[in-house]
Amino acid sequence: MAGQTAGSPENERETAVLRLQDVTVRRLTTDQLILDGIDWTVLPGEHWALLGANGAGKTTVLRLLGALMHPTTGTVEVLGSRLGRVDVRELRARIGHVTSAQRVPPELTAHTVVLTGHSGTVQPLWRTYDDEVRLRAHDLLTELGVKELADRPYGVCSGGQRARVLIARALMADPALLLLDEPFNALDLPSREDLVEAMHHLADSRPRLATVTVTHHLEELSPAVSHALLLREGRVLSRGAVDGVLTDALLTACFGRDITVMRRDGRWSAYSGLRGHGR
């Protein structure tokens, strides 16, 4: 529109990948307030960490972002579509969603698992995969650094390998939004670092891709993570650029105990009960 400038409210509304306004969620059976007055905007190319103690509402937020549920009040817009005014099945097909709880038949090869991302199914639909789709699946395995797993059964892959295969699967639809629900769960140190490196590469190779990562550990954040949102008891405690959010005072308030945060070479770490500086 004429007269708009980059960063203006009008421009932000047009380009936002996610936009939550005064979002409240109540549990139907008990009327318990799960989320209270959530306002949040995510723009293309931003990489967000979603942090908070257990029970803070992170899972509920991620379900809203993935079009898996509707808010009780307020508005949720995902990829330009407002929940309640869009076919959520079509919207979900445009969102990449990665979780360690993803149901995957263990006998499927890694390449086949990635192929199922094209059809959005658990089991492969072979007639929908032409040569171009099959090649894309191989290319994504290569991009995630696991091309050697193409013919290996998913069930015998390590936790870190499975995480990267699932990310490749999520990218088959070429999403503008990638949601990662504790992708580092139960990974050992080498596997964690492989996945951090993969996420950093994705940020470099896909400048318009927006990501939201739910994690409990700052050490799992890629240097590409640009923003963070802290939830406490269903409310936004803080949100914005990581340098202003991942601080001793805010993490202490978020988790309810003394936290010291350090950053070195773009990587974050947090400790409880320690005092000092390391930024």
Domain count, the chain: 1
Question: Using one digit for the tens of pLDDT, what is the confidence trace for 116-159?
Answer: 999 888 999 999 999 999 999 999 999 999 999 999 999 999 98
Question: What is the Cα–Cα distance from 48 to 178, expressed in whole angstroms?
Answer: 10
Output the pLDDT for position 14.
54
Domain membership of residue 41 as a residue range: 9-94+175-268
Residue 2 maps to a domain: no
> b/e for 203-242, b at 16 or more Cβ within 10 A?
beebeebbbbbbbeebebbbbbbbbbbbbbbbebbbbeeb
Q: Report the C-alpha gap between 117 and 119 in whole angstroms.
A: 5
Q: What is the pLDDT of residue 186?
A: 81
Q: What is the pLDDT of residue 44?
A: 95
**More confident call, 119 vs 28:** 119
Q: What is the dihedral of CA 212, 144, 135, 153, to 10 degrees?
A: -100
What pLDDT does 4 receive?
A: 35
**106 vs 164: CA distance, rounded Å:** 15
CATH number of the domain that residue 29 is part of:
3.40.50.300
- Residues 52-74: pLDDT tens digits? 999 999 999 999 999 999 999 99
Q: Please check whether residue 170 lies inside any domain of the structure.
A: no
80-115 pLDDT tens trace: 999 999 898 889 888 999 987 788 999 999 999 999
Asked if the structure places residue 138 within a domain, the reply is: no
Q: What confidence score (pLDDT) does residue 7 get?
A: 43
**Secondary structure of the chain: what % helix, strand, coil (to 5)?**
35, 25, 40
Is the pLDDT confidence value at 2 over 90?
no
| Separation of alpha carbons 241 and 227, rounded Å | 4
User: Does some domain include residue 22?
Assistant: yes
Average pLDDT over residues 167-174: 94
In a domain, 158, yes or no: no
Question: Of all helices (H) and strands (E), which one includes residue 114?
Answer: helix 110-119
pLDDT in tens, 238-276: 999 999 999 999 999 999 999 999 999 889 999 986 455
d(CA 11, CA 23): 21
Residue 46 resides in a domain: yes
Q: What is the distance between the alpha carbons of residues 32 and 237, in angstroms, rounded to a whole number? A: 19
Identify the band that residue 3 occupies on the pLDDT scale cut at 50, 70 and 90.
very low
User: Residue 185: what pLDDT?
Assistant: 85
Distance CA 65, CA 17 (A): 10
82 occurs within a structural domain: yes
Mean pLDDT of 17-35: 92
pTM value surpassing 0.85? yes
Whether the pLDDT of residue 9 is over 80: the answer is: no
3-state secondary structure (DSSP) of residue 241: strand
pLDDT at 5: 37
207 domain residue, yes or no: yes
